[in-house]
């Protein structure tokens, strides 16, 4: 298996250029006069806002968005901008119209829209697209090492699974060789490969360990 990318469908994670644009928006927003309201999670306990968790089901703030961006949790700019928009929506949902914090949220929201237009970032959508789970780099590395130990039959099974269920990660190099890109494998296919490999090399999976 190789993590080398190939021509074909794009990888699920943000490109370097997209990350730069996303980081640019966060930096620009943090410099806005009213940004201090939105830099950190709302301390509803300290502020005595006992009803906040009942009204706001998915809290969001700039520091959380930044952390998700650094941790490669966004697969596209739509997911990123949805979370940024959620900051303003939450604020205006909880706070009365005309309040200082709601007004600042509206100003930051307008700034965000203008910035997105200027820097080719998608405008927020009211619907969040389902997020494909991100596979940790450590798991990819572990699987790359383990696959070197599998039998010929297991290897053939792996190739068949990827070719049929995740063709964007499969490249036929020649009659004898294929390349599988772990960076382009979705989580469901990755889990199937892990099960095949663990079974072949005699490693119980975590679920088995718990059940025992």
Q: Which residues partner with 170 through β-bridges?
A: 180
Neighbours of 148 (CB within 10 A): 10
Q: Which domain holds residue 86?
A: 16-118
What are the tens digits of pLDDT across the range 88-102?
Answer: 999 999 999 999 999
Long-range CB contacts (within 8 A, 24+) of 68-73: 69/14, 69/19, 69/22, 69/23, 69/26, 72/13, 72/14, 72/134, 73/134
Q: Does 205 map to a domain?
A: yes
Backbone angles phi, psi at 2, to 5 degrees: -140, 150
d(CA 173, CA 66): 39
- Same domain (yes/no): 84, 169: no
- Of the listed ranges 64-78, 98-112, 194-208, the least confidently predicted one is 194-208
d(CA 25, CA 31): 10
Collect all residues with Cβ–Cβ distance below 8 Å to 67 and sequence separation of at least 6: none
Q: What is the CATH number of the domain that holds 42?
A: 1.20.920.10
Q: Does 163 map to a domain?
A: yes
What are the tens digits of pLDDT across the range 17-58?
Answer: 999 999 999 999 999 999 999 999 999 999 999 999 999 999
Q: Does 76 map to a domain?
A: yes
d(CA 110, CA 169): 40
Instruction: Decide if 23 contacts 69 (C-beta within 8 A).
Output: yes
Instruction: Decide if 185 contacts 195 (C-beta within 8 A).
Output: no
Name the domain count of the chain.
Answer: 2
d(CA 56, CA 89): 10
Collect all residues with Cβ–Cβ distance below 8 Å to 135 and sequence separation of at least 6: 182, 185, 187, 190
- Same domain (yes/no): 21, 60: yes
- Of the listed ranges 36-40, 176-180, 190-194, 203-207, the least confidently predicted one is 203-207
């Amino acid at each position: 298996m190789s993590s080398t990318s190939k021509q074909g469908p794009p990888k699920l994670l943000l490109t370097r250029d997209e990350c730069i644009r996303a980081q640019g928006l966060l930096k620009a927003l943090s410099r806005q006069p009213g940004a201090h309201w939105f830099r950190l999670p709302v301390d509803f306990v300290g502020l005595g806002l006992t009803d906040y968790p009942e009204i706001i089901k998915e809290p969001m703030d700039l520091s959380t968005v930044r952390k998700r961006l650094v941790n490669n949790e966004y697969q596209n700019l739509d997911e990123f901008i949805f979370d940024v928009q959620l900051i303003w929506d939450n604020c205006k949902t909880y706070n009365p119209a005309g309040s200082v914090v709601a007004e600042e949220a509206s100003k930051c929201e307008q700034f965000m829209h203008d910035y997105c237009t200027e820097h080719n970032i998608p405008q927020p959508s009211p619907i969040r697209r389902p997020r494909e789970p991100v596979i940790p780099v450590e798991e990819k590395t572990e699987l790359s090492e383990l696959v070197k130990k599998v039998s010929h039959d297991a290897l053939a099974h792996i190739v068949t699974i990827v070719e049929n269920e995740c063709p964007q990660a499969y490249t036929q190099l020649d009659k004898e060789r294929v390349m599988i890109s772990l960076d382009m494998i979705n989580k469901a296919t990755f889990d199937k490969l892990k099960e095949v490999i663990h079974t072949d090399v005699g490693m119980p999976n975590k679920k088995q360990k718990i059940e025992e």
